[in-house]
Amino acid sequence: MSLVCSISNEVPEHPCISPKSGAIFERRLIEKYIVENECDPINGQPLTVDELIDVKTPPIVRPKPPSATSIPATLKTMQDEWDALMLHSFTQRQQLQTARQELSHALYQHDAACRVIARLNKEVAAAREALATLKPQTGISAIQAAPQPAIASEAGGVATQPVEQAGMSAEVIQKLQDKATVLTQERKKKGRTVPEELVSQEKLRGFLTLASHPGLHSASVPGILALDINHSDQSKILTGGNDKNATVFNKDTEQIVAVLKGHTKKVTKVIFHPEEDTVITASPDASIRVWHVPTSQTQLLLRCHDGPVTGLSLHPTGDYVLSTSSDKHWAFSDIRSGRLLTKVADTAEYGLTSAQFHPDGLIFGTGTEDSQVKIWDLKEQSNVANFAGHTGPITAISFSENGYYLATAADDACVKLWDLRKLKNFKTIQLDDGYEVKDLCFDQSGTYLSIAGTDIRVYLCKQWQELKIFNDHTALATGVRFGRHAQYIASTSMDRTLKLYGIE
């Protein structure tokens, strides 16, 4: 059926329907008729313009006229439809081209905005790091402006304590023996019981990264090289950096407590005294410094070695420190008086790389550049056992709190565990090819062992089962420590961050 105006009998351009008769009209004609007659032309019923109903027809092609009954007329109609379609297609292409240009411009603006946002984010991160480093701490400004009085005063950069050995007196030996006896008795009382507060295996597997702190050391010389936790105040963490400084950080308040400046080279070993607000640091500048944290001052400067200090360990009494050096010697010094008690040369022609006291304090272990792990008797100052099996310099050693196990690592992508009762290697943890181990640490109960290097790994002792791997650091991890009862784990890295792991 074709749309034909009931008045003109032609196809209407603007068709509409009369609700009175249902007939179709050309709007302009029916409007004129209504103005003159005010009724429907078909049945004569009253009708107004507002009552007319428009008929929606496609705007591109007009309705076919009823006269298209011949071939020429049909061809003419098809030509008109084709022309209208081409015109519409042309218009659509123009609109598409315009939309493409607008989209291209919008994408360019978006890309520019993203670059600006990235730059601003980088500037904000740098500002935050600077702010974290420069946050006003209690008394730090006054401390840094104050002179550096030390218990063992420095003259020409060298401490006044005598370089010659004072010797291991009977009083010192008796003190060491008494402490070892007390510690042995305490260990027997504990037996094999595990502290109730110790984090379980299941919870440790669920540890997540709780915090990451990049602002503890200078960004110009990136890298944190050493780590320790205060045993009496678990919120305080000590780090040593490539920037020649040691930093005391409070993880609970996220504030820097003290910045310890004095070494002339990077700080590679740090120890937090377990009972005092005292810190001990060592450096390749061949010196060991004892610091008073509240004043950020050097209390004592020890120069026991002729080469870089490579190992540092505090005796359980808290009064003596063991150090090793690439000068092939280990030294035992009194941190109260600043005296060098004894200095012993290793018989091998290789430097020492690490040092660690046994939990009882009567023996200790050292690592060497020629892959040897040596056990020494402190009272006799003699080498009592050697462990061979690694290849490459020893990078880390750690005694278990139970006193039976020793974990060692070297540049051979494995960690070896030694039984000190049988003096033999009973387990080797083989790591991935190329894996670098920089630090080892047992927790205080001897239940877990953590490895720091290419990543951070935690193992369950006795079964030596891998419990957790942390891959958050973007560079080599250099240190790892357990908090009390393994409630949290701290790690440092060459990416300049201190990261804390635990349960949310």
- Position 461 in a domain: yes
pLDDT score for 153:
34
3-state secondary structure of 376: strand
State whether 185 and 329 are in the same domain: yes
Establish if 455 belongs to a structural domain.
yes
Which pLDDT belongs to residue 312? 95
188 shares its domain with 54: no
Q: What residues form DSSP beta bridges with 269?
A: 282
Out of 60, 90, 108, pick the residue that ends a domain: 60
Single residue among 60, 93, 110 that ends a domain in this structure: 60
* Domain presence at residue 435: yes
The number of folded domains in the chain is 2
Three-class secondary structure of residue 324 per DSSP: strand
In this structure, what DSSP letter does residue 46 have? B
Q: Shortest CA distance to 456 belongs to which of 444, 441, 443, 471?
A: 471
Long-range contacts of 121-130 (CB under 8 A, 24+ apart): 126/219, 128/215, 129/214, 129/215, 129/219, 130/215
CATH number at residue 356: 2.130.10.10
Complete edge-to-edge strand list for the sheet that includes strand 437-442: 437-442, 448-453, 456-460, 465-470
The predicted pLDDT at position 402 comes to 82
Whether residue 125 is contained in a domain is answered as no
Identify the pLDDT of residue 67.
60
SS (H, E, C) 186-228: HHHHHCCCCCCCCCCHHHHHCCEEEEEECCCCCCCCCCEEEEE
What is the full DSSP assignment across 249-292? EETTTTEEEEEEE--SS---EEEE-SSSSEEEEE-TTS-EEEEE
Asked if the structure places residue 76 within a domain, the reply is no
Q: Measured between alpha carbons, how far is 434 from 305 in angstroms, rounded to an integer?
A: 32
User: The domain containing residue 42 runs over which residues?
Assistant: 1-60
- The answer to whether residue 119 is domain-embedded is no
In a domain, 42, yes or no: yes
For position 141, what pLDDT does the model report?
43
> What is the value of pTM for the model shown?
0.68
What are the helix (H) ranges across 51-166? 71-134, 140-145
For residue 249, the model assigns a pLDDT of: 93
User: What's the CATH code of the domain at 12?
Assistant: 3.30.40.10
Q: Is residue 454 part of a domain?
A: yes
Gap between the Cα atoms of 48 and 39, Å rounded: 7
Provide the pLDDT for residue 74. Answer: 84
Final residue belonging to a domain, choices 14, 41, 60: 60
Rounded to 5°, angle at Cα 268 from 353 and 173: 60
Taking only the tens of pLDDT, the chain with its 504 residues reads 568 898 888 888 899 999 999 999 999 999 999 999 899 999 989 999 999 999 887 764 555 556 667 888 888 888 888 888 888 888 898 899 999 999 999 999 999 999 999 999 988 888 877 776 665 444 444 434 444 434 333 333 344 344 567 778 888 889 899 988 988 888 777 766 778 889 988 989 999 999 999 888 887 787 899 999 998 888 999 999 999 999 999 999 988 999 999 999 999 999 999 988 999 999 999 999 999 999 999 999 999 899 999 999 999 999 999 999 999 999 999 998 888 999 998 877 789 999 999 999 899 999 999 889 999 999 888 999 999 889 989 999 999 988 888 999 999 889 999 999 888 999 999 998 889 999 999 998 888 999 999 999 999 988 889 999 999 999 999 999 999 889 999 999 999 899 999 987
